Structure 1
Amino acid sequence: MNQQLVEIGKNVLRESFSLRESEAFLVVTDDVKKNLAEALYEAGKLLGAEAMLVVMKERKKSGKEPPAAVADAMASSDVVVCITEHSLTHTQARKKAAASGARLATMPGITEDMFLEGAISADYSEVKIITESVTDILTQGKSVRIEKDGYSLSFSIAGRDGVPSTGMYVNPGESGNLPSGEAYIAPVEGTANGQILIDGSIAGIGRLESPVLLSIENGRIVKAEGDDGARLLDILGEGDGRLLGEFGIGTNNKARITGVVLEDEKVYGTIHVAFGSNNTFGGVISAGVHIDGVVKDPDIYIDNEVLMVNGKFKS
């Protein structure tokens, strides 16, 4: 057992969750990420929690539900951390656990390097302030326009609430990613039109050697050009997985582009769009898949007002 991982795990559980003695603490993992999960489980035991470790079969893609027994255990725990290869963030199991009062974080695809360096080391009190400010802008906004290298994508966010992922989950029902630092929202389905150049990374594919250009009509990808375009479409499938489901803005100045979207989408100065399910955070798409793509240094307009130019926030 790597004792450094255990010590960092103790800090994370204290600072991000305020884990207390005798609380029911559940770590959900799969065979791929079991070693990291065991370190966090040991950390929970050392803090005096009623620590539990559940290992399930690896899901085939992000957004797939865990087994019903795992979902039930999540909903009956005080603190839940999901360390898995593919994301459980946009699942009904996560949503129901939070509704039951669990303080919950998902860590899809996290690596030992990410656990020791980068976004996990951020000052989350600062991340929280920035994230909540950007979330308010999204909630108050009605339209978004993303511009990058001559391409433009526009869509409506009217009537939708922004969601903060601050890295601080100390109150019942609070949930998000760790490492964290993003504000995101569900675009109004069917309103997105234009093109967007994905040049950072794509969940399930990794860091991109060359960009992928997506053409979107009435909220749906109609063309994906570039070396990884066909692979992305294959992951998303032929159905509602190709619908635009999320727009997010990174707010963590310690995060790096690593090829693992868990950290990549938190990088300060990036944005990300995701395709597939968004019914767990204000949308109506239930696709059984949720795949993010990260864009570096974009220009962002909210209601035609500049929010970001070349990846830098307007002061």
Structure 2
Amino acid sequence: MLTLEEGAQRTVSYTGIRADERVLVLYDDVSNAGPAWALRRAATAGGANAHVRYLDRGSRDDGGDALDAIVDELVDLDVVIAFTRGTVVPSAAAVTAVSHGARVYAMAGASERTLTQGPLEADFGALATAGNFLAERLSDATHAELYTPAGTRLTMSLAGRRGILNPPSRPQPGVYRFPYAGVVIAPVEESVHGTVVIDAGPGVGAAPTTLTIERGLVTGGAAGTALADLVAADIAAANRVGMVGFGMNPAASLQGPAYEHTAVAGTGHLAFGPNGGIGGGQHHGRYVELGYAKPSLFLNGTQVMRAGVIESALTVS
């Protein structure tokens, strides 16, 4: 377990905040003022020009929506740390900030625990070799096949898309989830076909949910919490696949808060909805994440992951 100050220092280190960078720490729950100011202290201790701002959500649950009100401020920043209850991953305002050179770190489901327990306790540096290996292989691939023991069978095109390590080992503009430790990619949206069995993390009910996907859209499946979330979405584009991700964090737990679930080592997840922050072509719709256990991944016919383990990374010296 970390102290609040230790967690803040790790966050600054792992996000690569440098001296003289312009940093804004956002929080949207008054109980998180302490952690937000701890992040500011850690950033300024390293020479950054850091500020804290309370983000008024009003009646909105999604921090990404609230970012739209301050987009003019975001474009003048180097780093945004969104220590918020809702995720800013699908935020159009975050994508705008990235287009002006910013790094946006989404710390969804934030609380003091985020800085003291769970994923942030992992050694991100030690995970970077395997993470970079997978990100590079995803970037080089044009075709992917994904399987799980529970019955997931998916195919997709990755042509022209880039694998992204979260957080990156070298700071570069983008929208990143943190603390995470994993790799994500936006597949070609209409290329995703097959069946996915949701059996890990957010959206899992009493039993796994099976979804049928055609041209990136959910076309059917067994009733369950995950499917209900998609059907209830008020924007049709929300149920088109926008992201595929692979968790690598040994300190994350499926028994922990929801924000940890997609980071758990040996799991994978699909996200439906906006993906502009990671190089995709969708910019609107509701954002929904669904997880599965022990994915095996083939890229251009070559297996690079077996039951959640990046086995080919073991050959990298």
Q: Which TM class, normalised by the smaller chain length?
A: 0.7 to 0.9
Shift of 1:40: 2.2
Q: 2:219 matched to 1:222?
A: yes
Alpha-carbon contact 1:24-1:50 (below 8 Å) kept: yes
Report the equivalent of 2:315.
none
Secondary structure of the residue aligned to 1:9 is helix
Query: Partners of 2:158 and 2:218 in 1: how far apart?
Result: 18
Task: Choose 238-247 or 72-81, whichever is displaced more.
Answer: 72-81
Would the alpha carbon gap of residues 33 and 291 (structure 1) be closer, same or farther in structure 2, given more than 3 Å must change? farther
Report the equivalent of 2:137.
137
Report the equivalent of 1:294.
291
Report the equivalent of 1:93.
93
Query: Partners of 2:107 and 2:187 in 1: how far apart?
Result: 24
Query: Partners of 1:6 and 1:208 in 2: how far apart?
Result: 37
Query: Partners of 2:74 and 2:116 in 1: how far apart?
Result: 26
Task: Choose 34-43 or 181-190, whichever is displaced more.
Answer: 34-43
The TM-score, its normalising length taken from structure 1, stands at: 0.85
Query: Partners of 2:256 and 2:272 in 1: how far apart?
Result: 18
Shift of 1:63: 7.8
Q: 2:208 matched to 1:211?
A: yes
Q: 2:13 matched to 1:41?
A: no
Q: What's the CA shift string for 1:168-214, capped at 9, x where partnerless? A: 4645x355221121221111122222110111122xx5x65432211
Q: What's the CA shift string for 1:85-128, capped at 9, x where partnerless? A: 11112323222223323343110113433321222122222222
Task: Choose 137-146 or 58-67, whichever is displaced more.
Answer: 58-67
Matched letter for residue 243 of structure 1:
R
- Aligned residue runs from structure 1 range 3-18, under 5 A: 4-18=3-17
Would the alpha carbon gap of residues 208 and 119 (structure 1) be closer, same or farther in structure 2, given more than 3 Å must change? farther
Report the equivalent of 1:157.
158
Report the equivalent of 2:22.
24
Shift of 1:276: 0.7
Shift of 1:46: 5.2
Moved >6 Å (runs of 4+)? none
Would the alpha carbon gap of residues 175 and 68 (structure 1) be closer, same or farther in structure 2, given more than 3 Å must change? closer
Report the equivalent of 1:239.
236
Higher helix share: 2
Higher strand share: 1
Shift of 1:44: 3.8
- Aligned residue runs from structure 1 range 264-279, under 5 A: 264-279=261-276
Structure 2: unaligned runs, 5 residues or longer: 313-317
Shift of 1:246: 0.7
Query: Partners of 2:17 and 2:191 in 1: how far apart?
Result: 41
Shift of 1:216: 0.9
Q: 2:61 matched to 1:56?
A: no
Matched letter for residue 165 of structure 1:
N
Report the equivalent of 2:300.
303
Task: Choose 41-50 or 265-274, whichever is displaced more.
Answer: 41-50
Task: Choose 273-282 or 228-237, whichever is displaced more.
Answer: 228-237
Would the alpha carbon gap of residues 103 and 286 (structure 1) be closer, same or farther in structure 2, given more than 3 Å must change? closer
Task: Choose 98-107 or 236-245, whichever is displaced more.
Answer: 98-107
Would the alpha carbon gap of residues 259 and 4 (structure 1) be closer, same or farther in structure 2, given more than 3 Å must change? closer
Query: Partners of 1:34 and 1:262 in 2: how far apart?
Result: 16
Task: Choose 43-52 or 285-294, whichever is displaced more.
Answer: 43-52
Report the equivalent of 1:117.
117
Paired residue for 2:248, among 248, 251, 274?
Answer: 251
Over the matched positions of the two proteins, sequence identity in percent amounts to 25
Secondary structure of the residue aligned to 1:280 is helix
